[in-house]
Each structure stands twice: as structure tokens, then as C-alpha cells.
Amino acid sequence: MEKKYWQSFGALNQSDAYQKDVQNEFKEDIPALSEDSNLLEAKTPRRDFLKYLGFSTAAAAVAASCEMPVKKAIPFVNKPENITPGVANYYATTYVQDGDVVSVLAKVRDGRPIKIEGNDLSSINGGGTSARAQASVLDLYDTARLRFPSIEGKEVTFEAVDKAVAEAMSGLTGSVVLLTSSIVSPSTKAVIAQFLAKYPGSKHVTYDAVSYSGMLDANLATYGKRVLPSYHFEKAKTIVSLGADFLGTWLSPVEFSKQYAAGKRINEKDPSMSKHIHFESVATITGSNADEKYTHRPSETGAIAAALLAAVRGEAVNVADEKLKKGIAAAAKALNDQKGAALVVCGSNDPSVQIVVNAINEAVGANGTTINWAHTSNIRSGNDAEMAQLVKDMNAGSVGALLVYGANPAYNWYDVPSFVAGLKKVKVSISFNTKLDETTELCRFSLPDHHYLESWGDAEPKTNYFSFIQPTIHPLFKTRQWQDSLLKWSGATVDYVSFLKQFWGAKVGGEAGWNAALEKGVWQPEAASVSSTAFNGAAVAAAVDTARAAAKKDGLEVVLYQKVGIGEGQGASNPWLQELPDPVSRATWDNYFVISPALAKTLLGIDLSNGGQADAYEVNPPKKVIEVKVGNQTLSLPTLIIPGTDPNTIAVAVGYGRSAKTGKAAEGAGKNAYPLASFNGTFVAYHAANATATLTKDKYPVALTQTHFRYDTEQGNRTEVMKELTLGDFKKHPSEIYDERAKELEPWGGIEKFESDGTIYPVFDRPGIKWGMSVDLNTCTGCGACVVACNAENNIPVVGKTEVMRGHEMHWLRIDKYYSGDLDNPQVVFQPLMCQHCDNAPCENVCPVAATNHSSEGLNQMTYNRCIGTRYCANNCPYKVRRFNWSDYTGSDSFANNQEGIISDVTMDMQDDLTRMVLNPDVTVRSRGVIEKCSFCVQRLQEGKLKAKKESRPLEDSDVKVACQQACPTNAIVFGNANNKESAITMTRMDNKLRTFFSLEMLHVLPNVNYMAKVRNLPASEKHKAEAHS
Amino acid sequence: MSLLKYESQLREPLVNGNKTYAQVTEDIVRPIEAKPSKLWYIGFYISVALLMFGVYSVYREVTYGIGQWNLNKTIGWGWDITNFVWWVGIGHAGTLISAILLLFRQGWRTGVNRAAEAMTIFAVMCAGQFPIFHMGRVWMAFFVLPYPNSRGPLWVNFNSPLLWDVFAISTYFTVSLLFWYSGLIPDFATVRDRAFTKLRKRLYGIASFGWTGSTKHWQRHESLSLVLAGLSTPLVLSVHTIVSFDFATSVIPGWHTTIFPPYFVAGAIFSGFAMVQSLMVVVRKVFALEDYITIGHIEAMNKVIVLTGSIVGIAYLTELFMGWYSQNKYEGYTFWYSRAYLFSPYGWSYWGMMACNVLSPQIFWFRKMRRNLFVTFFMSVLVNIGMWFERFVIIVTSLYRDYLPSSWSVYYSPTVWEIGFYMGTFGLFFTCFFLFAKYFPTIAIAEIKYVLKTTGESYKADMTAIEKESASDFAHKVHAH
């Protein structure tokens, strides 16, 4: 035994009190400041005071000295395989969230996934991503993730929880039900089948928060199978959408955007494009992109579908509203003109409406052309009736165990109280969800699943299109894949990884085939084909009647919709998505009632056609709160007036009002709108008639990133900012835009010589590389994927609602939205705007310290550590793309954490060591008081140049892809070296000479970003018609 | 004595009362030697309190960031630069009075030049706070100085008007300070000579640089004054011209206008004189200096106010005209909607400016109004409010809605710390001014004495008797007198 030395009895006995004492470094109270005496009563206040004064002065001096705290990076002693410090690895994996599937590459730096890129090899999303896929990497580092398994909220081990579950499940009365969101993984389906087989009488209920049950049921009725087909928007010359937001939130928006853009991409030599006619109740990005758009009551969707069917068949159209009637006639004509290349989609969850839509598609020959049954879609398979039955069963006490994965009915089921009451009667409730969401909170057992970036898995979004998931980081917390749990509980001896390998081994060609498939991330065993399926029209006549009968004539109606970022509510706890402005309303951090200008006039007393009133509404963030009552549900929210909304409709986004336990970002953001939905026995309806709205006295601030939505003013139409025209005009006068530019610049040398003749200063040659970007406004849908990609790539801070409200958001890339035309139903254009990298930049010459300057490659660069923050550059930027660090948003000040109460909790949360793991080490984290802005992803440019240099060859297009360009699902952004005659950017500019323009070109700032005008598939405008006649 | 010293009887005397040299000294030095009044203490403490509030406001801004202010992505400058330009403008009157009026031989300047110069210096000190503390990283402010450094070829950007400001204002401040101080030397000597305590003697002795009043001293003093006046004269015009370049050389509609330099200079003199009025009306009363700062002085300055106010008014109208005539939609929008349309979000500020700067000074076409102390004081405050609005209008209404409607700003209203900073500069200004009034001769003693015999009331009265006689006689007697 070792010899023991001791100084006191406490030390000898190691008593508790002694232990505590030892831990406490400062045993005695600070004399003057002990609790029960104040400074003056203390024994030696003056001397102590002087001591403290001296100490604190010295401490402050030390803290405030020029030295910033040094954090040391310790090198690897042994270099791990495949990890080279400073070099990124890319792993192919798949973003899967409740049925949404995007094949992606995860960029991993030093063992941390930091960025999601689209997988170019995928034939579905082909390199494109969505805002949510881009933001998903931040969820990995979410501080609100569940970190360990628990029983009734107490941390336990997986062994313990397995044991407890086994005990609970044995001797269970009542059925075992597995409640999940749509499952797209074939191997998981096999695991589930194994599990269900173990428990007789058990079943699997699939529940989608925003359900496509009606569509599935309609397909069952007319095509005999309860599945969704895949769509080919690219083959459709005519697209009619009845409220389906297929570019934003409907089914597979990334895929559809890509297809849609293919039909909208214009060839100047022979201009033609698809025609898109849109009917909707609330303004969405799809409606904004449409060539023609009509608004209607939500309840009228079925009647419109029925009328369209009649019109397509050449029968009389029975619609009272003149505008709608015209729209239906136009849609029917356009569909009939393009039989075999026409497509109708509908966002309704009513099976009878979808049956009518199926009938229209059948009539216009979509089946087997634009609608493909050869590769059916698996991304949604929920069944509302089954879910409703489950809730009933739970309340009846016949459900013994409920295992929840992905689904969150305690938040998003239309009748939360009955689900919650039912759940209380279920003996064994188990949640596999990754966060303490509303449902998990109520479950007895919580076995958090991995984040997808930590997981193994697979996905089959469409039949025979496979995409694989592989882990990119060791699990951060004590989590376990839920498939492992199921396997364990069903008595299997293999874990899920082995199961997965076994599952695929034979199919993909053994170990080597599996590795190859994992490397590519996608696997498509057979060539894509298109086929039709037999249509059974028996149900159509009855469906038409039901659909027609649903239409209401009067009263207000409420419709629920999804936002691009938040979706069903999964995005609510993601700060990037909360701060992503909604493409249509440009609002962040909240949901609100969306109403039309006409309704605003009567309900709010705000007349948007009155300049002063419109201004007052726009410039003040507090918006009037209204209370909407549907049945016995009421909801009070602020109102935003969005032109393009139906005058009888009040729309509200779902996905808000989440529990604060799901994350700081969700806290206090909006209110839950799901209770306004209803269930009629077969499907959940996301709209309600007979609503009443009353104006309250309250006002509630909404954080908008854009206040004004029109580019025409009384003083003139600001066409230098934005250019759009109709296809008819473009055909008649292809060079309209070019001529306009030429005329404007004529006094200063015309387009060609404007650079030299527009200035009295000498002009420099620009040899070597000259970076340039081109944005096609025709294919940009405004989805916002680029904005989030930019956030992730460039470490752009999240500032939170209060700061956005003060105009302090930091986005380097924003998507401006402009209306034109009629106030009630305007046309909408989106314009992504980033730093234009002007060759004659007004920001550069006003900086007193030359902190922003021009590179020899045409970049307008920002030197953060030279910047003193005068903001003169931001003032003098005509595009207002420069962003100032108003507060210490990144925690990079020398006084750490002095921003408590100054910046939002979300921003503080983003400074957590965990969340900071998402930061891109190649990009400087900016400190308080400096300006920042788009750098054209200079870190990527350097990397690309270096790569080319190492291979001793000139730079190629493939070497460099900037983040926004990479993320864009429609390839609207082209980037490259404009000095290279063969580069994509040069070719794009040459091929689209007639549509190319530079925003605010007349200022002679010489931007390096050009735009290509938006062309809408409409006939020639009146102006040009008149010209043609004269 | 030459005929040149003769002053027409039509001109009012510049010094009232039967003052002798001794009385002049006595009147002006008395407040320095006496204990300050209660009023002085109250005023001083209020000023110090304001200053402390300002210091705290700046402390918050430096510690927590510019986010303590309500500026935003569109409005990068708001109250900060508005206040800067406003204070710089005020700082124009002093040098104008001392330099340009000296060169033009305007005798009336002697009554007010000392205080006006002091005001200039304090105003420029206040103005300087804003460009310094509006920086996001004020601890790096020394980057604006072109000093040899170890950063290789890194140098300041001589293209930037903000850098020109640095030079213009520091030069102006230096020259004004020298000019003011050189004038103070003989007066300090006077105070020293009357001093009754050792400390006083010593301090004023140091301050007066060993002035003995020898002819050589006077001769050098006069030359120096002339040289400094010559140096200052172009500065009066250049400082605000350069400040206006901050805006005029930019691309922002509403800023990018060639009219700015003369318009800014006129505005500066306008506001400077108004500030001198505000102070003089109070000072002459509090320190019983009505004999030295006469109604005639007040009237002369009111004339300058109505002149410069009208120049400024013409500039406003010219801008509006150009907004229409150029047919530039961006400029048209800024001038005709953002500013001139009363019901636009900031329309009130434009019309506030118009009312205070253009309409109300027209009252000074009436002699009675020019000589009314109450009206003068009220108007001088009004003019300074108007001139503050002018800078606010130029900066905020141009920025908040520029080229891209997508970036148009939400409503900008200052935070308490933004206002606090402004209040703090008032504190600084008045703290300095109270100290000045207590410890410095507020009126240039030597210069008053210089004009006393030609324009003092009693001397003029003597002359009147002589003038009543025949002209030939008069000429003879004047020589003899």
C-alpha cells in the first residue's frame, strides 16, 4: 500500500466537506463584497476598494490590450487516412427528410461536414439542391439535438432502454403501431417488415404533415394503384397548375424546377418556351413564375378543375367569374393545342379534385408522356384515413405501443388534443426523433436517431432510382440509427450497416459494386423509360359533382400553405432557414396572414394604391394583427398585404409556432396554423370556408428584408434595374433590349465603347483572368437555395428577428422581388443580387483607407482587417449589397460574450462551440465593425486556380464553381473567366446577346455580373401590336 | 490722426457708454476675477451632465458596436454624419468673422470675434467626434493618417473625400486655434497684470507668453494676425466645400450634385451666424456686456443671416428645378417624392427645413425685427434646427431610397444612444464655452480699445460737435483733435 500523507483529519478521512473545500479555490469570501455586508461597512473598505480598483484596472488593461486570444491548432501526430489538413473531402450521400430526397455531396473539412453540394451524377436533382438541403448541415450541429437516449426524460444507456422496451413490449395488450413519415428507403422498408412480423397484429401507419393522401387515393381510383407517378415538366409545352407550388414546396421541387427551367430556357435564334398557366389562392413562387396567373377561392379548386375538364372536352364552362372563365378557356386551349405535351398538376388534397385532374390529364394525353408510370414516385405515401383511425384507436385504448419516427402529430395533426389524449393512453410510446419535438416530449422512451450525415442508408425516390447515404462524421452524440433499434427489437443479430450491405450486396455487384455505388452516391440499374397506365374513368362523373359542390360563393376563406424554407415545420429550428426571406413575402422569422390589397382596404383600412398609405405600411415593421376564426379555432397573427392573393382568401403558413425545445430559432417564431385544417373522413383539408376575420388593436412587428416591391415610380419605370418582356415582343423585336441599351449609351460611345468613352479617365487592359457571372432571370425561380448556400459557404452570421427588423441582415446574396402591372394580380420577377464586382466600383474610391480594392482578376475585394467601418462604401454602392457588422454577431470580439442582450439568442446560439463546427475554415469570420459582401467565393477561385496550376494547364470552367451557382437547381447562374473565349460565361453572353443587360449600366460602374431579361410566354404587348398595324 | 479714422455719424457707435480704456478692461476682465454666478454653476453642471451622458453613449457604441444605433443596410449614415456636418457648419462663423471681416476692415467684428472664434473651435471639436466615433472600429482610426508604416506600400486612399475631410478639418482646426490664441495673448497679459493671486499671475503669465506690450510685440502681433487671416480665408470656403464633396462625388441620387460646394458654404455661414447670435444674446446679458455687443452688432449679423438664408433657399429651389429638368427618374424621385412630397415618409423633414431656413429668416427684412432681441434669439434657434434638418434631409432622404427599390429602407429613427451622442456634443460644447466665459476674456480687449476712439459713443459725440461746424473747419479740427 502506498504511504499516505495527511495534513488534517479531513484529508485523512476524505470527508465530503473536505472534498468540497478542496475543490473551492477561494475559500474565503471577498471581504468587502460578502453577501451580508456592503462595501462601506466592511472592515477595511478603502484599502480593499483601492485594491479592487487596481486589480480591475489592470485586468481591463490586460483584456483590452492588442493581443487577441490565441487558439492553438494542434497538428495530427499520425495523419489519418484520407484526411489532409486544409483539403476538403467530398462524400456522396443523400439528404432525406420526411420523404424529401436530394442526392448530395457533403464537403468534409478535417472530419467535419461543412457544406452540402448537389450531386451532379443524380439524374433527378442533377447537382441542384434546395434551401432546406443546403441548410441541413446546420441541423447536424444543432445545440437542441437530443444527445442521449432517455426514459421519461432521464438519461439512460441504450442497453438500459433496450431492456426496458423489451420488458414493456412483452406482455403488451393492444397492437403495436409504427407511425412514420413517408419512408423512401427500401432497406428500411425491409427492416420495418421484419419488425412488424415479430409483433402480430402490428401495423405501419404513414403520416405526412402536409398530406398527398387525396392524390394517392385518386390515383387508386383512376389508375388502380396508390402511388404517385413521376412528372416530366421538361416535356410539357403547356403546364397548368391548380394551386400546386411545384417550384417551391409541392412533391419534388428541386427536380421539377430543373425540368421546368429546361422548358423555359430560351434560344435567341429560335425563341420558344413552355406555357405555364397558374391558378392559385395565395401567391407562391410557382404562381410568380407563371406566364399567366389567376386567383380564386381555395374552395373553388375543384370547380375550376371541373370547368377545365369541361373546357378541354369542348363542353360549356360554368364559372361565374369573368377573369377565371377567361383563364380556364385559355388553359383549355393551351392544353388542347399541345396534346401529348401538356400537363396539369393540382395541389389539392381532395381525392375528387385529383380524380378530375387525372381525367384532364387523360384528356390532354399526359398519361405516358408528361406523366410517367414507369418510374413511380415514392416520396409521399401518407394516408390520412389510416392516421385518423390510429388516433381513434389510441383513444379507444387499443394501441399498446406506438413507435414514432419522423412524424410529429402532436404538433402538426389537425386535432392535436385528441392525438395527445390518445398518446397518453398508449402504454409504450417510443420516439426516434432527433429533437425534443412536441411528440417526443410526450413519449416515454426517446431513442434519438442519427442525423443523416452520421447515418448509413439508402433512398429510392423513384422506382429504380437509388441514392445512398453514408456517414460523413462519427456520431456526435449518444444516438443510434432507428433501424438498428428496430432490428434489435425484432430479434435480428445483424446491425443495420451489415443489413444494408447484405441488402444491396447482390444487387449492385458485391463489395466492389457497393463501394462504387457509395462513391457515386446514386445508382440506376436500368435506363429511364416512360410508360402509361390504364385509366379508369368510372369515378370521374361523381368526382366532378363533388368537386363542383365544394365551391363557396361568399364569406372569407382560409388556406394553409408551406414556405420554401420552413416547409411542414422541419425548418423552423434551423436559423438559416428562419432567416431566409420567404421568396414571395420577403419576411423572415414569422408566419402571418397573407391578404390581398382589396381585402386590406376593407379589413385593415390600408389602401396600397395611395402612395402615402402604402409607404406608411411598408416602412414600419409593426403590422396590424387580425384574429381569424374558423369553426371553433381562432388564430391571431399580423397581416401582410401580398398582391396576387385572392381577395376572399386569408392565407397562413404552417410550420411555425414550434416548441422552444426544438431549438432557439423556433422559439417565438410565429404560431401553429395546423389547427385550422380539418378532416372530413377521408382526407385532411388545408383550407376552410366561412372564416371570420376581425381587426384587433394590436400591432406585431414582422421582419421584412424588402420593403418596396415595384420598380416603377411616378418619376419613371426603373428599367435600368430590371428588364422583362413578353415572348411575343421578343419574337417581333428580338433586339428591343439591346437597342434600348444602345440608345441609352449612345452619347458615351455606345455599348461597345462605353467603357472607354464613358469616362475621362484612362482605361486599363485586363489581361489574364477576368471573373464574370451571368444570371438568367428566365430560369431563376427565386427558390432561395443559393441564399442558404452562400450562408453556409461564407460563414454569414444569423442575426435574428430583431436585427432583421432593423435592416441588419447580413445576406451577401439576396433575391429581390419586383411586381409589375395590376395591383390585384401583378406579374412577379425575381432578381438575385450579389456584389456586382464593378470594374469602376464606386465603393472602392470612397474608402479612406483603401480597405476595398480591385483585383487584377476583376474582383472587388474586401480587406477586413484594414476596414475601419466608416460605411461610406455601403452608402455609395448603388446596389446596396454591402453589409456591415453592426454588432459582434460571430463572437470574434476580444471581449467575449459582451453581447448578451444586445444580439438575439439565436445569434448567441450560433456562437456555441458545437454550432461553430459548421464554419468554413477557408473564410474569415468577420468581427464587429467591418463591412463584408460577396467575394465571388474567392476561396473557391483560389482553390480552382491552384488546382489548374498544379496540373500546369489553363483554368477551366470545371475548376471553379461558386456556391450559389452550385446550389442552383435550374443552373440560372453561370460563372467563369470572361477572358476565356471558350468559357461558359463567354458563350452564355454571346448566345444571349439580345437579352443580356447589366443592372444600372448607365452609371458606368461596369459590373461584372450581367443579367438576362425575363421573358414571359405572353403575346406581344399593346405597344408592339399598335406598331405592327401602323 | 488721419481722416481715415473718421467715421460717419450715420453709423452707430460700436461701443456704447462713456468708456475709457480702463473701463473697457474693467468691464471685460471683471467676470474673470469675480466668483461665477449661480446661473453659471447651474449651466455648467447641466453641460457636464450632458457631456457625461454623451460619454456613456459613446462608450456603449464603442463597446457593443454601431448596432447601438438604428442605422441599417441602406442608411449607413444618419444622425452621426448629420451632426458632424451641422457642427462643422456652425464652426464657420468664427473664422469668417475674424478672418474675412478683418480683411474687409469691418470694425464691428471686434465685439464678437473672440466668442465667435471660441465657438468655432468648440464646434469643430464637437464635429470631430462624429467621424471618429461613427467608425465601426474606432480603435483603428489611425489608419486614416498617412504615416510611414511597416505595412509595405499600404497607404491611405487619396481618392476618398472622407480622407480629404481628415486633412481639411484638422487644418482648419489648427489654423483657427492659432488665430484665436494669438489674439488672446495681449488680453491674457492684461489679465495677468491685474492678477491678485500668485497662481493666477503664473498661469496667465504662461498663457500670455511673456507679452510686454512693446511696439515690437505689437508689430509682430499685427503681422501674424494678418498672415493667419490670409491663411484662414480660403479655409472658410474650403472646409465645407470638402465636406460637401463627401456627398457630391458619390453616385447616390440627391448627393451627386455639383451645386453642393457653394450651397454648403452659404449654409455653414448661415448656421454659424445663427449660433453666434444664440450665444451672444445670452452672453451680453449675463456678463453685462451690452455696451460692447450692441444692438448694432446683432443687426449686422441678422443681415448676414437673411442673405445667406436666401442663398440657401435659392440652392434648394435650384435642386428641385434640376430634379425636374434633368428628367433623371432617380433624381426626380429623390427630390420630388422622398423630399418635396409632404406625405412621403420623410416629407416632414424637408418641409421643416424649408420653413426654418427659407421662410422664417425673411422676417429679417424688417429693421424692427432685426433689432429685436427676442426675435433674434428665437430665429437663431430656428435656423439651427432648420440647418440640422437640411443635413438630415440630404443624408437620410437620399440614402433611404436610392436606386434599387428592393433595398429601400424601413423607417429610421435614432436610438437613445444616438441622441445621447448628439446631446453629449452639446455638453462638450457648452462645458467648454462656460469655462471659456469664466476664464478667458470673452471680448477682445485690445481690439475694442483699438476701435474705441473712432467708434466709441463718447468719442463719436465729441466728433458730432465738431462736425456741426463748417466743412473746412471740420477737416482742420479733425487733424487737430
Q: How far is B104 from chain A (nearest CA, A)?
A: 37
In this prediction, residue B2 carries a pLDDT of 38
Q: How far is A1007 from chain B (nearest CA, A)?
A: 14
Cβ–Cβ under 8 Å, residues A566 and A656: yes
In this prediction, residue A695 carries a pLDDT of 92
Average pLDDT, chain A: 88
Instruction: Enumerate the residues of chain B whose CB falls inside 8 A of the CB of residue A708.
Output: 401, 405-406, 408
Average pLDDT on A260-277 reads 91
Q: How far is A717 from chain B (nearest CA, A)?
A: 8
A554-704 is classed in which CATH architecture? Beta Barrel (2.40)
What is the percent of chain A with per-residue pLDDT over 70, rounded to a whole number?
A: 93
* Residue A659 identity: S
In this prediction, residue B164 carries a pLDDT of 92
Q: Where in chain A is the domain with CATH 3.30.70.20?
A: 764-812+835-1013
C-alpha torsion angle, residues A775, A781, A783, A785 (rounded to 10): -30
DSSP states of A232-283: -GGG-SEEEEES--TTTTSS-HHHHHHHHHHHH---TTS----EEEEEESS-
A902 and B65 in contact by Cβ < 8 A?
yes
A867 and B137 in contact by Cβ < 8 A?
yes
A871 and B71 in contact by Cβ < 8 A?
yes
- Option in B144, B401, B404 nearest A879 (CB): B404
**pLDDT tens sequence across A620-650:** 889 999 999 998 899 999 999 999 999 999 9
For the stretch A155-160, contacts whose Cβ atoms lie closer than 8 Å and that sit 24 or more positions apart, written own/partner, are A157/A478, A158/A447, A158/A478, A158/A480
Average pLDDT on A14-35 reads 61
Asked: is A213-376 a CATH 3.40.228.10 domain? The reply is yes
In this prediction, residue B3 carries a pLDDT of 40
Average pLDDT on A289-315 reads 90
Q: How far is A51 from chain B (nearest CA, A)?
A: 24
- The residue of chain A with its CA nearest to that of B146 is A849
> In this model, does residue A67 exceed pLDDT 70?
no
- Option in A619, A868, A929 nearest B65 (CB): A929
A884 and B250 in contact by Cβ < 8 A?
no
Instruction: Enumerate the residues of chain A whose CB falls inside 8 A of the CB of residue B65.
Output: 885-888, 899, 902, 928-929
> In this model, does residue A612 exceed pLDDT 70?
yes
Cβ–Cβ under 8 Å, residues B136 and A930: yes
What is the percent of chain A with per-residue pLDDT over 90, rounded to a whole number?
A: 57
Instruction: Enumerate the residues of chain A whose CB falls inside 8 A of the CB of residue B246.
Output: 872
Instruction: Enumerate the residues of chain B whose CB falls inside 8 A of the CB of residue A809.
Output: 73
C-alpha torsion angle, residues B327, B329, B335, B337 (rounded to 10): 130
In this prediction, residue A696 carries a pLDDT of 92
Instruction: Enumerate the residues of chain B whose CB falls inside 8 A of the CB of residue A846.
Output: 159-162, 249-250
CA distances from B84 to A715, B78, B80, B130, B312 (A): 32, 10, 6, 5, 19
CATH topology classification for B13-141+159-460: Formate dehydrogenase/DMSO reductase fold (1.20.1630)
In this prediction, residue A36 carries a pLDDT of 52
Instruction: Enumerate the residues of chain A whose CB falls inside 8 A of the CB of residue B155.
Output: 850
For residue A688, give the 3-state DSSP assignment: strand
Q: Where in chain A is the domain with CATH 2.40.40.20?
A: 554-704
Cβ–Cβ under 8 Å, residues A259 and A234: yes
* Residue owning grid cell 421582419: A703
B76 and A930 in contact by Cβ < 8 A?
no
Q: How far is B267 from chain A (nearest CA, A)?
A: 23
In this prediction, residue B411 carries a pLDDT of 87
pLDDT range class, residue A1028, cuts 50, 70, 90 = very low
- Option in B76, B345, B403 nearest A878 (CB): B403
Cα separation, A955 vs A768, whole angstroms: 10
Instruction: Enumerate the residues of chain B whose CB falls inside 8 A of the CB of residue A807.
Output: 72-75, 409-410
A902 and B404 in contact by Cβ < 8 A?
no
**pLDDT tens sequence across A682-736:** 899 999 988 999 999 999 999 999 988 877 777 778 888 889 899 999 998 889 9
- The residue of chain B with its CA nearest to that of A616 is B345
**pLDDT tens sequence across A929-979:** 999 999 999 999 999 999 999 999 999 888 999 999 999 999 999 999 999
Asked: is A150-211+382-520 a CATH 3.40.50.280 domain? The reply is no
Cα separation, A769 vs A1008, whole angstroms: 12
For an interface test with B, which of A588, A609, A610, A707 has the most B Cβ atoms less than 10 Å from its Cβ?
A: A707
Instruction: Enumerate the residues of chain A whose CB falls inside 8 A of the CB of residue B66.
Output: 869, 871, 884, 886, 929
Helix axes B109-133, B260-286, angle to 10 degrees: 120
C-alpha torsion angle, residues A413, A417, A419, A420 (rounded to 10): 120
Cα separation, A407 vs A409, whole angstroms: 6
**Backbone CA torsion sign across B415, B416, B418, B422:** positive
**pLDDT tens sequence across A752-784:** 899 888 888 888 888 889 999 999 999 999 999
Q: Which residues of chain B have pLDDT under 70?
A: 1-10, 455-481
Q: How far is A290 from chain B (nearest CA, A)?
A: 21
In this prediction, residue B466 carries a pLDDT of 66
- The residue of chain A with its CA nearest to that of B75 is A875
The size of chain A, in residues, is: 1030
In this prediction, residue A10 carries a pLDDT of 65
Q: How far is B161 from chain A (nearest CA, A)?
A: 6
B408 and A879 in contact by Cβ < 8 A?
no
A807 and B343 in contact by Cβ < 8 A?
no
Q: How far is B94 from chain A (nearest CA, A)?
A: 29
pLDDT range class, residue A595, cuts 50, 70, 90 = very high
The closest alpha carbon to A247, from A285, A202, A201, belongs to A285
> In this model, does residue A268 exceed pLDDT 70?
yes
Domains of chain B by residue range? 13-141+159-460
Q: Where in chain A is the domain with CATH 3.40.50.740?
A: 150-211+382-520
B251 and A1003 in contact by Cβ < 8 A?
yes
- The residue of chain B with its CA nearest to that of A933 is B73
- Option in B246, B250, B329 nearest A715 (CB): B329
Helix axes B373-392, B295-325, angle to 10 degrees: 30
CATH topology classification for A764-812+835-1013: Alpha-Beta Plaits (3.30.70)
- Option in A707, A847, A876 nearest B252 (CB): A876
- Option in A807, A867, A874 nearest B410 (CB): A807
The Cβ of residue B387 has, within 10 Å, a number of other Cβ atoms equal to 26
Cα separation, A820 vs A711, whole angstroms: 8
pLDDT range class, residue A1023, cuts 50, 70, 90 = low
Which helix (H) or strand (E) segment holds residue B262: the answer is helix B260-286
Instruction: Enumerate the residues of chain A whose CB falls inside 8 A of the CB of residue B134.
Output: 870-871
Alpha helices, H only, A458-562? 482-489, 496-508, 510-520, 540-549
